[in-house]
Structure 1
């Protein structure tokens, strides 16, 4: 398990599944490796970090990200970590959510 939280901040963006932003204390960073990737969003700002997931000998690139200094409107997600639902299994209330197909899918 990469993360577990009972109080995510949800972000809704047109054409994408809701994103759950979790406190860093809810994330198990022992399976995450920092990535040099940075992206920019006109609504949220520039990412401050990306992480890849390492499972055994496999590395799954850029599965999680964070905005330390998002735009003013998105300040509630500052310092929180989100995962691509397209790249990891997401379980909500004991039920695995279907993996969405988006431009970020593998």
Structure 2
């Protein structure tokens, strides 16, 4: 099983001076600016939907010769766990200027 890391975006007012975590397993990480290839889908973020959507996006990126990090991808979901209609997405980091697919 691949490791999963949970990232949470801090609200704008906390980004310059984030609160100190109270748990040793929580870390503040500053991500650099990056271009991403993103494919969204409706539904729960589960291993099967994540894998299938990532494979579909990777196949389309490969077909147009896009240069991207192939060894991992990000997966996001934006809806509250209490909502039945969920929006999720997968993302690959672009290594060059992104191309349209």
In the superposition, the TM-score normalised over structure 1's length comes to 0.28
Which structure's relative contact order is higher, taking Cα pairs within 8 Å and 6+ residues apart? 2
Larger Rg: 2
Please state which structure has a larger fraction of its residues in strand: 1
Please state which structure has a larger fraction of its residues in helix: 2
In the superposition, the TM-score normalised over structure 2's length comes to 0.29
